[in-house]
Amino acid sequence: MATVHSGASDAALLIEQVRNQILERCHASVTLSRSDAIESVFEAWQSTDESWKANDDEVAVTEEVKDTAIRFVQNLPLAFPQPEASSEPDGHINLEWYRSPRRVFSVSIAPDSRLHWAALIGTESARGSVRYIERIPEIIPGQIARVFEG
């Protein structure tokens, strides 16, 4: 779509520039929302219902785990890429940030609000387990940021 100029004066060009900046910010605020990640968590939660009935070895993801995963996603810095959510056979929800085969971060949200995380950054592999209460432990955003550095 071509840009249409309504005036040729410096003032008109400045107004158009400011308008475009405002539109870009509005677009950024929409793309920075967490709605896609939250929807992904809902889909992961709902998908366990059918597989749980079909396989006795699998545990359905509880509403508690779903709600914890949603709170976790909502508490992430808005500038971060959105994770992909999936359900795990043990009743956990897994959130994953993938940049390349050697730059991945994964956090598994357990029913007891424990976060089991692992990062693969180049040749370095780090992992840990922490309790999630109200704030995301500092180690997790730091590791996610490292996945997307450079």
CA–CA gap between residue 80 and residue 100 (Å, rounded): 16
Q: Is the pLDDT of residue 28 over 50?
A: no
Query: For residue range 49-78, what is the model confidence (pLDDT) as tens digits?
Result: 655 555 666 788 999 999 999 999 999 988
Angle, helix 35-54 to helix 63-74, in steps of 10 degrees = 160
pLDDT at 150 over 80: no
> What b/e string do you get for 96-121 counting C-beta neighbours within 10 Å, with b at 16 or more?
ebeeeeebbbbbbbbeebebebbbbb
In this prediction the pTM is: 0.74
3-state secondary structure of 87: strand
Question: Is the distance from CB of 48 to CB of 58 less than 8 angstroms?
Answer: yes
Enumerate long-range contacts of 94-99, CB under 8 Å, 24 or more apart.
Answer: 94/44, 95/37, 95/41, 95/69, 97/144, 97/147, 97/148, 99/147, 99/148
Half-sphere exposure of 9 (CA within 13 A, CB side): 3
pLDDT at site 24:
59
Which pLDDT does position 69 carry in this prediction?
Answer: 96
Alpha carbons 108 and 87: distance in angstroms, whole number: 9
Q: For the residues 90-111, what does the mean pLDDT come to?
A: 96
Surface-to-core class of residue 145, CB atoms within 10 Å of its CB (0-12 exposed, 13-18 middle, 19+ buried): middle
